[in-house]
């Protein structure tokens, strides 16, 4: 805080001013900064907002006044000067306790992770004008980033609401396949010293097929499910095919295949896929983040922490929302010394949606006639999306859309953070910052065959590691099957007994995903106890009914 100086105001309180060598700007009143701060807060009204964003920390007088007037609100303070922040916390330690103070975008992410977004009711902005005037562009950018990250958290919450029940259903149904599968953590760190390739289904994939065939003994090749048919039709076998999609339509990626791949499936993947593929590895999705106190926090897939209490650890893979982002984290955890993106166009290269040979093309072929060809179908799909032009690897521009561009940002951010090089080989696709563009052919020519090939490593691990042990899990599920029947009856007849059953930790874990929307609604509204009881009774009965249907399909395993 070399440009800031703390002096004593007329009132005896500490005050702050800023000097750029020519002009002195008073950050607080030279007479009474506490009274001034109270006046600022008295004119402020957050209405229904649950989060108050403050631009500028100063010495924190206005932050303390906000807490006194609005004690139930979450306060996030944006401050450009990190050294000033440290000094304020030293001088006024209570400020660091009542508000989250952020100096950059990464700290915003950490703060938002600690906030229960389920209680979010909007934001209100209090701008400390003297602080804001020093760096208006910084504060504007930080406010925009904060709102963007809040929107992302809300989107994640809505996604959880939409898919959580399906995830839990798939996890329980996939539990019958776990005893045939290797836990992915058996592969962690086993591919040190060799590059890893992520094969995606972008239009440029078709140009990398010959080089992929040459890379088989030199690099670990992980193919996303969408791209597998393209490889198989050209006689190329990836070492691993990865799937993440919980929805049943993902089976289309594997219908009609002639060779059975080694499948790496997230536990939420469609059971139709996991039942179809004999050789498989299971993984779980978890998110790791740094909390404001500096500790590492982990957020797992619903139900999976409970499941792993009985099966042992399966292995976490972090995801950015797509199977390719999960593959990125897997290669990193597997120990690869470089990550190579193939077919990761993140754009409509050549005005195509996917590489030729995916199931999408198969679905479209019956619709082709003399008035409509594949190009026309691709164009019709692109026109329905919110498109934009971005720089291309061939020096021109290429069309992308909002969702693909979000994934491009994810890869750019991830490539910047990892300690190994990331190569982008997608000719004509979007430029991905923080990666090195190189044709796959050039990379493969430089690589040497490792002493032990990727396939040899996989064969050894598959034959020498134990599959997931599910005996304890099914013993527990068997006991819970009868409790669920009891809950279904109690929800109709005995509310007190219903609450007793739901208070059981195991029952709460199983039922909560199916009751989440109701619990969220109750938390956001001031309801009578009678209304709460009625809502929970309906939700509990519905949860029990849905779970009993799932358990009936597990009957051979749990009885």
User: 488-521: per-residue pLDDT in tens?
Assistant: 988 878 888 999 999 999 999 999 999 988 887 8
Order across the sheet with 24-26: list the strands: 4-8, 14-19, 24-26
Question: Is 196 in contact with 334 (CB distance < 8 Å)?
Answer: yes
Instruction: State which H helix or E strand residue 327 sits in.
Output: helix 323-334
Task: Please list the alpha-helical segments (H only) found in 122-266.
Answer: 129-134, 136-174, 209-214, 228-233
Sequence-separated (6 or more) residues with CB below 8 Å from residue 34: 11, 13, 61
Give the separation between CA 316 and CA 326, rounded to whole angstroms. Answer: 10
Q: Is 9 left (phi over 0), alpha (psi -120 to 50) or beta?
A: beta
pLDDT at 356: 64
The four Cα atoms 23, 29, 34, 38 give a dihedral, to 10 degrees, of: -100
Taking the domains of the chain in order of start, what are their residue ranges? 4-154, 175-464, 470-558
Instruction: State which H helix or E strand residue 388 sits in.
Output: strand 387-391
Question: Is 177 in contact with 280 (CB distance < 8 Å)?
Answer: yes
pLDDT at 384: 56
pLDDT at 377: 44
Sequence-separated (6 or more) residues with CB below 8 Å from residue 325: 319, 407, 410, 411, 414
Kindly tell me the burial class for residue 301, based on how many C-beta atoms sit within 10 Å of its own C-beta (0-12, 13-18, 19 or more): buried
Radius of gyration of the chain (CA): 28
Question: Is 440 in contact with 211 (CB distance < 8 Å)?
Answer: yes
Task: Please list the alpha-helical segments (H only) found in 392-526.
Answer: 402-417, 440-446, 454-464, 471-493, 495-503, 505-524
First to last CA, the chain: 68
pLDDT at 548: 94
Parallel, antiparallel or unpaired: strands 397-401 and 387-391? antiparallel
Question: Is 273 in contact with 252 (CB distance < 8 Å)?
Answer: no
Mind listing the pLDDT tens digit for each residue in 223-280?
A: 999 999 999 999 999 999 999 999 988 998 898 888 889 999 999 999 999 999 999 9
Q: Is 116 left (phi over 0), alpha (psi -120 to 50) or beta?
A: beta
Give the separation between CA 128 and CA 86, rounded to whole angstroms. Answer: 19
Whole-structure pTM over 0.85, yes or no? no
Write the CA distances from 489 to 64, 169, 477, 483, 541, integer angstroms: 52, 22, 19, 10, 8
Determine the CATH number of domain 4-154.
Answer: 3.40.50
Write the CA distances from 366 to 227, 233, 358, 361, 373, integer angstroms: 21, 19, 14, 9, 10
Write the CA distances from 236 to 199, 210, 229, integer angstroms: 11, 9, 10
pLDDT at 371: 47
Question: Is 121 in contact with 50 (CB distance < 8 Å)?
Answer: yes
**pLDDT, mean of each 10-residue run, the chain (559 residues):** 82 88 86 92 89 93 93 91 90 89 86 75 90 92 88 72 89 95 97 97 92 96 95 94 93 89 96 94 87 73 94 94 94 97 90 64 49 49 67 89 86 94 94 96 96 96 94 93 91 86 93 88 84 92 94 78
């Amino acid at each position: 805080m070399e440009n800031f100086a703390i002096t004593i105001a007329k009132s005896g309180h500490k005050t702050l001013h800023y000097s750029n060598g020519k002009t002195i700007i008073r950050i607080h009143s030279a007479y009474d900064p506490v009274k001034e701060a109270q006046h600022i807060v008295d004119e402020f009204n957050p209405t229904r907002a649950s989060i108050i964003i403050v631009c500028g920390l100063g010495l924190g007088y206005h932050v303390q006044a906000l807490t006194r007037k609005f004690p139930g609100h979450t306060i996030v303070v944006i401050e450009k000067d990190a050294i000033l922040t440290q000094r304020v916390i030293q001088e006024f330690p209570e400020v660091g306790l009542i508000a989250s103070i952020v100096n950059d975008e990464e700290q915003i992410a950490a703060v938002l992770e600690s906030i229960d977004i389920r209680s979010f009711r909007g934001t209100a902005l209090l701008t400390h004008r003297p602080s804001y005037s020093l760096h208006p562009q910084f504060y504007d950018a930080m406010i925009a980033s904060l709102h963007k990250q809040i929107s992302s958290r809300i989107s994640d919450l809505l996604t959880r609401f939409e898919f959580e029940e399906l995830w839990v259903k798939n996890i329980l149904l996939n539990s019958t396949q776990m005893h045939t599968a290797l836990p992915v953590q058996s592969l962690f760190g086993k591919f040190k010293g060799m590059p890893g390739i992520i094969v995606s289904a972008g239009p440029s994939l078709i140009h990398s097929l010959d080089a992929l065939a040459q890379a088989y003994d030199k690099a670990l090749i992980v193919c996303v499910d969408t791209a597998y048919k393209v490889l198989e039709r050209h006689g190329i076998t990836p070492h691993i095919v990865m799937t993440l999609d919980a929805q049943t339509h993902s089976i289309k990626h594997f219908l009609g295949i002639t060779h059975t791949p080694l499948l790496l499936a997230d536990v939420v993947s469609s059971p139709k896929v996991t039942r179809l593929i004999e050789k498989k590895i299971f993984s779980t999705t978890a998110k790791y983040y740094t909390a404001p106190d500096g500790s590492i926090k982990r957020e797992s897939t619903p139900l999976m922490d409970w499941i792993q209490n009985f099966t042992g650890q399966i292995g976490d893979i972090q995801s950015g929302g797509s199977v390719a982002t999960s593959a990125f984290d897997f290669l990193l955890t597997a120990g690869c010394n470089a990550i190579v993106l193939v077919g990761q166009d993140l754009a409509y290269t050549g005005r195509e949606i996917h590489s030729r040979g995916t199931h999408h093309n198969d679905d479209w072929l019956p619709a082709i006639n003399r008035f409509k060809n594949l190009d026309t179908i691709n164009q019709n799909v692109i026109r329905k999306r919110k498109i934009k032009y971005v720089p291309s690897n061939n020096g021109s521009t290429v069309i992308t859309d909002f969702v693909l561009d979000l994934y491009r940002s994810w890869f750019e951010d991830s490539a910047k953070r990892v300690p190994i090089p990331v190569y982008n080989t997608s000719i004509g696709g979007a430029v991905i910052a923080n990666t090195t563009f190189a044709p796959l052919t050039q990379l493969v020519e430089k690589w040497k065959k490792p002493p032990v090939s990727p396939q040899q490593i996989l064969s050894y691990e598959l034959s020498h590691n134990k599959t997931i042990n599910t005996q304890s899990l099914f013993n527990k599920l068997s006991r819970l099957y009868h409790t669920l029947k009891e809950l279904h009856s109690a929800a109709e007849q005995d509310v007190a007994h219903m609450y007793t059953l739901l208070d059981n930790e195991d029952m709460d874990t199983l039922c909560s995903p199916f009751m989440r929307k109701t619990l969220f609604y109750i938390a956001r509204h001031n309801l009578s106890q009678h209304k709460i009881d009625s809502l929970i009774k309906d939700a509990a009965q519905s949860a029990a009914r849905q779970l009993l249907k799932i358990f009936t399909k597990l009957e051979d395993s749990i009885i």
